[in-house]
Structure formats: structure tokens, C-alpha cells
Amino acid sequence: MKIVIAPDSFKESLSAQQVADTIKAGFQTQFADAEYITLPIADGGEGTLDALVAAKGGEVHSQIVEGPLGQDVTARWGHFSDQGISTAIIELAEASGIALNDPDDRDIERASTFGTGQLIKAALDNNVRRIILCLGGSATNDAGAGIAQALGVQLKDHQGNELARGGKALLQLASIDATNLHSKAQQVEWLIACDVSNPLCGDQGASAVFGPQKGASAEQVQMLDSALTHFADKVADITGINHQDSAGFGAAGGTPLGVTVCGEPTLKPGIDIVLEAAQLEQCLKDADLVITGEGQMDFQTLFGKAPFGVASRAKKLDIPTIGIAGSLGKDLTGLDEYFSAVFATVRSPQPLQQVLEEADHNLRVTSENVASALAMKLES
């Protein structure tokens, strides 16, 4: 019997690797002789770095870079080999995330992706051939200008001075000089994990939709939208493409635009990038059972979340899939189309802190119970 265990993390309590290991331990009480493949995964958001490094046997590097407002922060990036291709995995939130500043200290006008660019530079200096950039959780609205600046691109005002960091400064942009762009930036494959379809500018753009979530006032939204529109026009002068209306370019404060100054990125749903890199479909070959899960499962699981990515691929191969989650939401509509069964690990109403502290124990007990029920069914 071959069992593939491919869960996402249980946020704030267990990493994806810990979830996979615990489920395996529970199932081994009944299926000791089974062949197990544990494949920690993520959907392109938080935890993707750790999941892919664990799945690919890679390594994590840490360094001090600029945070969103220029402060020193310690940020990580991952490095692994993907089918012989040296690959870097970078989460924008590590260096440019909104969680890096207290709510009272946020400044969307100045917030910059420069620190993320420093992580990318470190990866390029290590001769990677592919960069996977995971968007989400950003504090920024600079359209990735900081990334371009960190990689050597000069953004200049009408006096020829280098622009300050942040989205507001882009209003003063007069010219873009990519002469000193990192020599390897255009030699790598750029993959951007992007799970929104918002354009860069306009009523559905980065500033209008996501700016208020980062503290932008109505006046700042208008100003930043104008700044990003202006930046898009200037970028188009050197790339030949104006991305004001391009789907997905509104993600993470417009970050994909700045990347186009450095290379030719491909935007894909995060779960697709992760599962391709983790080679899930190869792992599913000849599998008899798939187990996946996340902190909470409900109808939203079907909208690009990691368990859905796993279950939908297993369904194509007619492999039954079991979902194990910390909790189940009230609305489970549609899950039965992809999951043979779903289970929650929390046994009764409990304080959140208790749930987090007992997460591993509850997951182990639930996994043992599910395995026991499955064993009884197979024996009958």
C-alpha cells in the first residue's frame, strides 16, 4: 500500500513537515508496512519557503536586509535543486512584509521592496538559475521599484538624482537606467507565485484594493495610483509593454512590474508552482491513498488552497483523498467532490491557546482514529 501525505501547515502551531510526520506516525499504528511519501507543501503564501526546502532537501540562508521602512531585519531565502536546476525560493513577506512593522509605524508612501531585492541579489550571487518569488503579506505599494533598485537599476528624477524608496517617490521619476542591472538578472527564469488577478492601476488595482488594508487614506490611494501609473509608463518605454491593466500585476503593491525591469517573469498560481516544484504528480504514481490538510478546511479550500491542489490532482488519477484539518468551517460545500472524507482534530470547543498547544497531540490521535477506521473497512 502506497500512501502519499501532502499537507499544508497548521498556522501558528505546526509546520507542514510536522503535520506530515505526525499523520504518518498515526497511520503507521495500523499500516506499518505501507510505503509512505511525505511531501510538505504550501499554496505560494506563508510557509512556501519551508515547505519547498523540506520537500527538495534544500537549505535556508539568513541575512540582514532592509525592512519595509529601511530598518534592519533578518530575512531568509531558500535554495534547492529542482530537476537539476539551481533554484531560489523567496517570500516577499520575509523582508518586505506588513508584519515587520507595528500598526502605528506603517507608512505606505515610503514602504519599499528593496530588502526583497537584496535577497534576490544574494540568490543571483549564488548562481541560481531560477527564482521563485512568492507574493503576499506585503507592506509595500512601490510596484517592485525597490527590487529593481536593489539589483542595480537607477530610478532618477529630473535633476538626475536617485529616487528615494517607496511608491510616492515614483511620482518624481524621470528616467530608468538599467546599465548597472545585476549581470545575471536577465539570465534566470523568474516565476512569480500570484493568486490575485487585480491589475496594477485603476479601481481594481493595487492601490485602490490593497492600499487601504495597509493604512492608505483615500487621498493616498489616489496619489499612489497615479505614481504606479506613471511608473508603468516609464517601464513601458524600456520594455515595450505597458502593464497598467495586466492581470495579476496588482499583487503585493504591484511588485511584478518592478521585476519586469530585471527580467521576464511568468505569473502563475502559487499552488501550481509549488506542486510542480515538489513533483507531486510523480509522487502520486501508483498511490493507493492521499492524505492532505490545513489549519481549517471549508468551501474556501477549493479556491486555490494547497489541499485542493493536491486533491484535484489525485482525483484525475482516481486516487481517494482524505482531508485532516485543525477545524472544519460551517460551509463544506463542494469538498465531497474532491475528498472521500474530511476530519477535524479539535474534539470540543477549546480556548485558542489550548488548541495551539495541543495541536500535535490532537492530530496524532485523529490520524490514529482515521487509520483504525480505514483498516476496519478494508478488513470487512
Domain boundaries, the chain: 2-40+279-379, 48-271
Task: Give the residues of the chain that fall short of pLDDT 50.
Answer: none
Average pLDDT of the chain is 94
**Which CATH class name applies to 48-271?**
alpha beta
pTM above 0.85, yes or no: yes
Q: Which long-range contacts (CB under 8 A, 24 or more apart) does 312-319 make?
A: 312/338, 313/275, 313/280, 313/281, 313/284, 314/4, 314/284, 314/287, 314/290, 317/284, 317/287, 319/4, 319/284, 319/287, 319/288, 319/289, 319/290
CA distances from 52 to 89, 127, 257 (A): 8, 19, 25
Residue pair 295/325 in contact (Cβ under 8 Å)? The answer is: yes
CA distance 8 to 18: 10
CA distance 68 to 135: 14
Torsion of CA 128, 133, 137, 139, to 10 degrees: 80
Q: For position 171, what pLDDT does the model report?
A: 98
**Which CATH class name applies to 2-40+279-379?**
alpha beta
Q: Which amino acid would we find at residue 310?
A: V
